[in-house]
Amino acid sequence: MSNLYRSAISARAAKLPVVLPTPSPSMDTAGVNEEDEDAEGEDSVGSLPGPGLGPPALPASRSSLLKRTPKVPNPKYAPISASGFFTEALQVAISSRDLDCRVYYTPPKFKDGTVMVCHHGAGYSGVSFACFAKEVTELSKGECGIISIDARRHGRTTSTDGNDGDLSVDVLVEDFCAIISSIYSDPASAPSLILVGHSMGGSVVTRSCPILQKSSYKIGGVAVLDVVEGSAVDALPHMNNLLNARPDGFDSMEEAIEWHVNTNTIQNPLSARVSIPSSIKHVEGALPPYQWRTPLRSTAPYWLSWFQGLSSSFLATRTARLLVLAGTDRLDKELMIGQMQGKFQMVVVPGVGHMLHEDDPTRLAEILVEFWKRNERVMVGIKKVGDL
> Measured in Å, how far apart are the chain's first and last C-alpha atoms?
51
- 199 a catalytic residue: yes
User: Degrees (nearest 5) of the Cα angle 174, 180, 181?
Assistant: 85
Q: Give the distance, in angstroms, between the CA of residue 265 and the centroid of all CA atoms in the same chain.
A: 15
Residues 194/327, Cβ–Cβ less than 8 Å: no
Pairing mode, strands 193-198 and 99-106: unpaired
- 154 a catalytic residue: no
Give the contacts of 272 (CB within 8 A, at least 6 positions apart): 77, 257, 260, 261, 266, 358
Q: How far apart are CA 202 and CA 52, in angstroms?
A: 11
Q: Per the residue annotation, which of 43, 150, 164, 226 is the catalytic one?
A: 226
Q: Per the residue annotation, which of 354, 357, 359, 360 is the catalytic one?
A: 354
From its phi and psi, is residue 199 left (phi > 0), alpha (psi between -120 and 50) or beta?
A: left
Residues 368/114, Cβ–Cβ less than 8 Å: no
Residues 94/101, Cβ–Cβ less than 8 Å: yes
- 359 a catalytic residue: no
Q: How far apart are CA 68 and CA 63, in angstroms?
A: 9
Q: What HEC string does 158-203 produce?
A: EECCCCCCCCCHHHHHHHHHHHHHHHCCCCCCCCCEEEEEECHHHH
Q: How far apart are CA 363 and CA 186, in angstroms?
A: 34
Pairing mode, strands 27-28 and 88-94: antiparallel
Q: Per the residue annotation, which of 7, 148, 182, 199 is the catalytic one?
A: 199
Q: How far apart are CA 53 and CA 264, in angstroms?
A: 12
Instruction: State the sign of the Cα–Cα–Cα–Cα dihedral 90, 298, 177, 111.
Output: positive
Give the contacts of 335 (CB within 8 A, at least 6 positions apart): 228, 229, 230, 311, 314, 315, 323, 344
Mapped onto helix, strand or coil, the DSSP state of residue 12 is: helix
DSSP 292: E
Q: Which residues are designated catalytic?
A: 199, 226, 354
